[in-house]
C-alpha cells in the first residue's frame, strides 16, 4: 500500500510535577521569563533579516559598497562574517545566553528564518509588512530536550524533564488519540519534531508535532465523488450512484442558534445579577458562553468533514468535486444570515486538509 508522510500537532496538557508551592511558583516564573525572551528574540530575528535584505535597496550608497549577503570566507564579495542564518543566532547568543537555554534560541532561530525566507519576496514587493510577534508567543522545544520520560506506576500519565523542570502529562479524555501518538513516539514508530510550550488561562500545554508515514488505500482517480455543501443539509455526497447525507439542519443550525439565544439572554440579565466581587462576578454567566459556539461549530465541522472523507476512501474515490462551491461562497457574502451561521470556508478547509492526508484530489466548481 502507498504511504504519505504526515505531520500532525496534538495539544497535550502538562502539570508541574511537584506539590511544593515554592517549586511550582519558580517553575511558572521560569517559563514566563523564557516566553518573554522568546518574544523579544523573535522580533530581533525578523528585524535583522529584513534590514539585511534592505541593504540591497539602499541605492544612495556608493558603488564600491559590497551588498552580497554571503559569508566572506566563501565569497570575496560577501559582507557577512558567517552564514546568513547564523547572524541572528550570534545576536541572540550575545544578548540572551545564560537567561534561556540555547537549544530553545537555536530552534526559534531556525523556525523563524525559514518562515522569513518563505515570505521574503512579499516583503520585497511591498505586498505585506514584516511580522510582529506578541508576548504570548509559544516557546519552541526541541524533541531531544524532553528527557527522563517515565510511566507513572498508576499507568495514567508520563513524567519527564525539560531543561531541569519536571512535568507530568495529562491526556484528559483523549478524544484525539494523544496518548496513542505519544506512546508510538516512545516506541520509535512516530517521530517527534520540534514542538512548543503554550500557556492558556493558567494552564501549560505542549503542542507536540508528530511525523509519521500514513498508509492509505489505493484510490481510483477515475472514481469521482460529488459533494454539495449547504446549511439545510451540511453535506450531500454522491458516489457510484449512491446518495449520502451527512448532518442535518436540526443537528447543526438549530443547536447553534440555541447557543446564540442563550448568550443573548445571559447578556440581558447581567444588570440583575448580584455583583459580589464586582463586574467579573456579575458577568460570570455570560463568560461561560464565550467559546461554546465556536467549540460546537469546530466539533461539528470536523465530524462532517471526516465522515465525508471516510466515505470517499471506503468507495475508492480518488477525486472529490465540490459542486457550485464558488457560486455559493459568493452568495453567502451577500446573505448576512448565511455569513453569520454557516461556515463554508472553514468546512472546505477541513475537507481539503483531510483529503490531502489520504491522497484525494479536490476540485471546486
List average pLDDT for each run of 10 residues in the chain, which is 365 residues long: 75 92 94 94 89 69 53 52 76 88 92 90 85 92 93 90 93 76 92 92 92 73 85 87 87 86 83 68 75 87 90 87 81 77 83 84 83
Are residue 207 and residue 225 in the same domain, yes or no? no
166 close to 149: Cβ distance less than 8 angstroms:
no
Q: In the beta sheet, which residues pair with residue 111?
A: none
CA 265 vs CA 39, 259, 268, 287, 363: distances in Å: 40, 10, 5, 12, 42
295 close to 259: Cβ distance less than 8 angstroms:
no
At 20, phi and psi to the nearest 5? -80, 120
- Per-residue cell: 245: 447525507
pTM of the model: 0.68
Are residue 82 and residue 181 in the same domain, yes or no? no
The secondary structure of the chain in percent helix, strand, coil, rounded to multiples of 5, reads 45, 25, 25
Domain annotation covers residue 280: no
Number of alpha carbons in the 13 Å side-chain half-sphere of residue 269: 13
Domain annotation covers residue 276: no
- Per-residue cell: 184: 508510538
Domain region containing 358: 220-258+292-364
What does the pLDDT read at residue 33? 95
Are residue 232 and residue 341 in the same domain, yes or no? yes
Residues 6+ apart with CB under 8 A from 162: 141, 145, 146, 147
Residues 6+ apart with CB under 8 A from 342: 231, 253, 332
- Per-residue cell: 118: 518563505
Domain annotation covers residue 171: yes
Q: Identify the residue whose cell numbers are 562574517.
A: 81
At 93, phi and psi to the nearest 5? -65, -40
Q: Which of 204, 49, 41, 46 is nearest to 135 (CA)?
A: 41
Q: Which of 178, 170, 200, 209 is nearest to 291 (CA)?
A: 200
Q: In the beta sheet, which residues pair with residue 205?
A: 13, 198
Chain-centroid distance of CA 198 in Å reads 11
Angle between the 21-54 and 102-125 helix axes, to the nearest 10 degrees?
40
What does the pLDDT read at residue 216? 61
Domain annotation covers residue 354: yes
Q: Running DSSP on this structure, what letter comes out for residue 57?
A: G
Which helix or strand (DSSP H or E) is residue 351 part of?
A: helix 344-358
Q: Identify the residue whose cell numbers are 464558488.
A: 326
What does the pLDDT read at residue 57? 66
Domain's final residue, options 125, 158, 184: 125
Domain's final residue, options 125, 148, 179: 125
Q: How many domains does the chain have?
A: 3
Domain annotation covers residue 269: no
Amino acid at each position: 500500500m502507498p504511504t504519505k508522510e504526515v505531520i500532525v500537532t496534538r495539544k497535550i496538557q502538562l502539570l508541574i510535577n511537584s506539590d511544593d508551592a515554592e517549586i511550582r511558583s519558580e517553575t511558572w516564573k521560569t517559563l514566563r521569563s523564557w516566553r518573554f525572551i522568546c518574544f523579544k528574540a523573535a522580533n530581533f530575528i525578523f528585524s535583522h533579516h529584513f534590514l539585511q535584505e534592505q541593504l540591497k535597496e539602499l541605492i544612495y550608497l556608493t558603488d564600491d559598497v559590497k551588498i552580497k549577503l554571503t559569508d566572506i570566507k566563501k565569497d570575496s564579495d560577501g559582507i557577512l562574517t558567517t552564514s546568513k542564518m547564523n547572524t541572528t543566532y550570534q545576536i541572540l547568543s550575545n544578548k540572551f545566553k545564560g537567561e534561556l537555554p540555547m537549544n530553545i534560541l537555536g530552534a526559534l532561530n531556525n523556525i523563524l528564518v525559514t518562515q522569513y525566507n518563505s515570505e521574503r519576496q512579499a516583503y520585497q514587493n511591498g505586498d505585506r509588512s514584516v511580522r510582529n510577534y506578541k508576548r504570548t508567543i509559544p516557546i519552541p522545544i526541541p524533541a531531544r530536550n524532553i528527557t527522563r520520560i517515565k510511566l507513572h506506576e498508576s499507568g495514567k500519565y508520563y513524567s519527564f524533564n525539560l531543561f531541569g523542570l519536571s512535568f507530568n502529562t495529562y491526556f484528559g479524555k483523549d478524544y484525539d488519540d494523544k496518548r496513542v501518538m505519544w506512546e508510538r513516539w516512545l516506541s520509535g514508530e512516530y517521530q517527534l519534531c520540534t514542538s512548543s510550550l503554550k500557556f492558556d488561562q493558567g494552564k501549560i500545554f505542549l503542542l507536540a508535532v508528530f511525523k509519521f508515514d500514513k498508509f492509505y488505500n489505493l484510490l481510483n482517480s477515475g472514481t469521482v465523488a460529488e459533494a454539495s455543501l449547504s446549511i439545510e443539509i451540511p453535506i450531500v455526497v454522491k458516489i457510484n450512484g449512491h446518495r449520502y447525507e451527512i448532518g442535518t439542519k436540526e443537528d447543526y443550525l438549530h443547536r447553534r442558534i440555541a447557543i446564540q439565544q442563550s448568550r443573548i439572554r445571559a447578556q440581558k440579565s447581567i444588570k440583575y445579577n448580584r455583583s459580589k466581587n464586582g463586574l467579573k462576578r456579575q458577568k460570570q454567566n455570560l463568560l461561560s458562553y464565550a467559546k461554546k459556539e465556536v467549540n460546537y461549530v469546530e466539533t461539528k465541522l470536523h465530524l462532517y468533514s471526516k465522515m465525508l472523507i471516510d466515505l470517499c476512501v471506503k468507495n475508492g474515490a480518488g477525486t472529490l468535486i465540490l459542486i457550485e462551491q464558488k457560486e455559493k461562497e459568493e452568495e453567502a457574502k451577500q446573505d448576512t444570515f448565511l455569513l453569520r451561521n454557516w461556515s463554508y470556508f472553514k468546512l472546505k478547509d477541513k475537507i481539503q486538509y483531510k483529503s490531502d492526508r489520504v491522497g484525494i484530489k479536490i476540485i471546486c466548481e
